[in-house]
Structure 1
Amino acid sequence: DEFSIAIWIARYRIIVTGYPRWIFWNRGLVGPDVTILIRMEPDHQTVRDFLIAPAHQAQSALRMLNANNGVRLDAFLFASLDPVVEMGRRESVSAIP
């Protein structure tokens, strides 16, 4: 079987209250099996981290992320895309116990 992935980029912004936020448009977050949201550093050149989440969890992100989003979303934050590579790896049926 195969799965679909949506990739989004969230840019760093400081809001009026002085707190950092990562803004993105989530119009297409519904549909794929997995959503990857790339949070950028303030320079907009460097990746801060990756939110790699099932689509139903990503929908709860609304349109922006905070520095700390609570365990429901922060549990899906990763420093690299290695978890996606592992998900895409094919295994033979005989290798599954």
Structure 2
Amino acid sequence: MNDAHDVVRIRAYQLWENAGRPEGRDVEFWLMAERLIAIDETADSGPVSEIDTIHRTLETPPKAGISPQADPKGGSQTAPTPSDLVDQKARDRSLT
């Protein structure tokens, strides 16, 4: 994986956690993370936009002591990727 992918994955995981870890919304959080990262990158090059202000107001920092990849039970947990979601939806369809 490349650095850009990891940045999106970590941001998506943070958004997912802050939303209460809802199931079935992986792609939504992935795309939101991509959009927010793009906003951050453009905001760094110019004046702060209203969207950027809203984004920074709504985003909360991750909980202290918890890594985005850490699982409290000792395992490794990472945010799902869009391909993971597609695979899951295919499995769900095969069960019905």
TM-score (norm 2): 0.29
- Bigger strand share: 1
TM-score (norm 1): 0.29
- Bigger helix share: 2
